[in-house]
């Protein structure tokens, strides 16, 4: 995973989590954030109110750098969701079924345009 300067430390072997590197898990997780229903689930579990989880979301912003964006299948919706999650108001509003439905429609339309 990148350091605060954006470089990847390689002084020791990459630790494996269930056969995956931390970076691979972070790629999978950050891509899941493009799913508004998953965001709603995280909010319903009160994770979006947890300061440690909010700090982790801030850390994941390194995916906005081109050298990491290239690993995302749908960078537009993924990075948009990651940016929205930085806002306390959005973290509260994602509990609304209307907001979830609106975002789901936007995500679907952007994925159709991307093909």
DSSP state, residue 17: E
pTM of the model: 0.80
Angle between helices 36-44 and 97-114 (to 10 degrees): 150
Average pLDDT over residues 58-67: 98
List, for residues 85-109, the tens digit of each pLDDT value: 999 999 999 999 999 999 998 877 7
Number of neighbouring beta carbons within 10 Å of residue 80: 17
Helix (H, G, I), strand (E, B) or coil at 24: helix
| More confident call, 74 vs 47 | 47
What does the H/E/C string look like for the chain? CECCCCCECCCCCCCEECCEEHHHHHHHHHHHCCCHHHHHHHHHCCHHHCHHHHHHHHHHHHHHCHHHHCCCCCHHHHHHHHHHCCCHHHHHHCCCHHHHHHHHHHHHHHHHHHC
At 91, list the tokens. Answer: 């973290």
List, for residues 18-55, the tens digit of each pLDDT value: 889 999 999 999 999 999 999 999 999 999 999 999 99
């Amino acid at each position: 995973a990148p350091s605060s300067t954006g470089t990847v430390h390689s002084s020791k072997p990459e630790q494996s989590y269930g056969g995956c590197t931390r970076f691979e898990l972070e790629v999978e997780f950050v891509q899941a954030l493009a799913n508004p229903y998953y965001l709603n689930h995280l909010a319903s579990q009160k994770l979006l109110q947890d300061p440690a989880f909010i700090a982790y979301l801030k850390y994941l912003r390194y995916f906005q750098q081109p050298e990491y964006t290239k690993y995302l299948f749908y960078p537009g919706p993924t990075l948009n969701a990651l940016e929205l999650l930085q806002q306390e108001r959005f973290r509260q509003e994602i509990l609304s079924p209307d907001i979830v439905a609106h975002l789901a429609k936007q995500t679907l339309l952007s994925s159709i345009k991307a093909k």
